[in-house]
Structure 1
Amino acid sequence: MGRVTSRRRVLRVVDGVSSARPDTLAVEEPLEIRVNGQSLTVTMRTPGADFDLAAGFLVGEGVVRHSAQIAAIRYCAGATETGENTYNLLDVALAEGVAEPDASVRRNFYTTSSCGLCGKASLDAVRATAFWSVRDDALRLDPAALSRLPDRLRAAQRVFDRTGGLHAAGLFTADGALLCLREDVGRHNAVDKVVGWALRQDRLPLTATVLMVSGRASFELVQKAVMAGIPVLAAVSAPSSLAVDLAEEQGMTLVGFLRGASMNVYTGAHRLGLGAAPELVARG
């Protein structure tokens, strides 16, 4: 299995005084995902929970929704010149009768850990492929309980403590119990790893749960949460305008800038026992 961290020598400068010291970095390596032997995509990720990553990616793209739809996941021969397996190539064998990914999903190129792998170009596409509706999820949350999640997420980030360079995604129950946490250099990969864990544990759809992420809330993260049946997405930073549009369209609760006792509730305020925000009046 690939390493999660790597040690490097750095020159530390404090108040004009420099000194050499070792530093721990988060590893970033390419992972090629194949389906039934055919290349699907290559993503830059932090090694670890690769099977979850592949499974979660397939959920987000509408390829699978039950663990029985995956027959097997295995590492392929991706050997170096010395014959050592790089563990950067894996193949997902779909169960008999499961349709292979549409040609539009296949991405035979490298993507950075920051840009993600968004295969849906519009809200209509997400609406057409979502397996479960989150609109009618009866989950109700105490805002005070929600405000405790960032600290609980941070406390569970073991690799971040060593590197300071990883995003995290955590799946919580309504009362704040942590079900699953995954870290990665890419926030979208961290979410895929959580969703893939849930698929492989036969937990989909993830009703009555909260997905907490360490960065911003992009359209893609909302999409992945919707595809997994998660009714609440909370982030410590800002959402994008398209993320808010999609969350509102799907009936999801979207919270941003969740820091301490403060938060911005962009959609689905009813799940927190709050009234909807008054509409802004445009000024001419």
Structure 2
Amino acid sequence: MENFLPPTSYDYLTVHKVSGAELTEASDVVAAEEPLEIRLGFGPSGQREHRTLAITMRTPGHDMELAAGFLLTEGIIHGREQLAGIRYCPDVTKEEEKENVVRAELAEDVDVAMPRLERHFYTSSSCGVCGKTSIDAVHASACPVLPTNGPYLDPAVLHELPARQRAAQALFEQTGGLHAAALFSAQGELRLLREDVGRHNALDKVIGAALLQEWLPLHDSVLLVSGRASFELVQKAAVAGIPVLAAVGAPSSLAVQAAKDFGMTLCGFVRQGRYNVYCGEWRLRPNQPSRV
């Protein structure tokens, strides 16, 4: 599985560029955005049900990883063994649905109480998953316990991550319109990177890729996200067992509270050789070899 090569998910458009009073016609590149419907197959053999679980606006590409990460971070599954397979749905009838509908088949023994779901999930590229209203609800979804003996990081390592992330963002360089989530080792080695119009989708793609490669829990990893750090991103990182979350932008107050409750190290404004540590500062030790 290729960890860095992005899909060619962009479109060429003719635009008019304005410089001062001069108007000229030019070609421009924009990030693609299309709906992805995630369908779920579950139940014992001979009594399988297939239901639509979620619709998300995403950048096409790495769709199976996105679906796998979504199922894990929303508590539908708790491990790779509960996922029998994911594929594009073969029985769609509309042209616009081709490669925009995926079906995840769960193992026969996975209990899915669809009637108890308050409503279908709906995600968008701007707001992420709606419906998580309290930290207690996330704790109840069986998040892994984060390690309390590391990993220990040299604070200087975090300074280097934004540049390494940006260097690997091929689609951002093409379009300027995508978020990124990047998974690093405690020594700063880039392991996974995914881009998407939605920051939550980018993270689900990273977590889904790690799940499918059987890397979970990610106790030895550092996550860097573009933009701000929201409560949902902290929650998703905690489900994957990620102990350190760094963001180029600011965290929200609920993100900080959730990170404290999970025992996570949360850093914000990681750019231009500086950053703030909002909690979990004990993992930052100058010249300290990392260990877990």
TM-score, length basis structure 1: 0.91
Residue of structure 2 in register with 1:11 after alignment: 16
Contact 2:152 2:283 in 1 (8 A): yes
**Unaligned stretches of 5+ in structure 1?**
275-284
Equivalent position SS for 1:220: helix
1:6-155 matches, within 5 Å, as 6-36=11-41, 37-76=50-89, 77-80=91-94, 83=95, 86-100=98-112, 102=114, 103-104=116-117, 106-107=119-120, 109=122, 111-155=123-167
> Which residue identity lines up with residue 61 of structure 2 in the other structure?
G
Residue of structure 1 in register with 2:46 after alignment: none
> Which residue identity lines up with residue 37 of structure 2 in the other structure?
E
Whether 1:179 aligns to 2:184 is: no
Whether 1:160 aligns to 2:172 is: yes
Contact 1:41 1:106 in 2 (8 A): no
Cα 1:252–1:105 change in 2 (3 A) is farther
- The alignment covers a number of residue pairs equal to 270
Q: State how far apart, in whole Å, the 2-side matches of 1:237 and 1:61 are.
A: 24
Q: State how far apart, in whole Å, the 2-side matches of 1:223 and 1:170 are.
A: 16
Contact 2:121 2:129 in 1 (8 A): no
Fraction of identical pairs, as percent = 53
Q: State how far apart, in whole Å, the 1-side matches of 2:32 and 2:72 are.
A: 25
By how many angstroms is 1:120 displaced?
Answer: 2.3
CA-atom RMSD in angstroms: 1.7
Which structure 1 residue ranges, 4+ long, deviate > 3 Å from structure 2?
A: 77-80
Cα 1:48–1:193 change in 2 (3 A) is same
Residue of structure 1 in register with 2:283 after alignment: 271
By how many angstroms is 1:156 displaced?
Answer: 0.3
Contact 2:10 2:29 in 1 (8 A): yes
Contact 1:8 1:23 in 2 (8 A): yes
**Unaligned stretches of 5+ in structure 2?**
1-6, 42-49, 287-292
Q: State how far apart, in whole Å, the 2-side matches of 1:147 and 1:122 are.
A: 32
TM-score, length basis structure 2: 0.88
Task: Choose 131-140 or 46-55, whichever is displaced more.
Answer: 131-140
Equivalent position SS for 1:196: helix
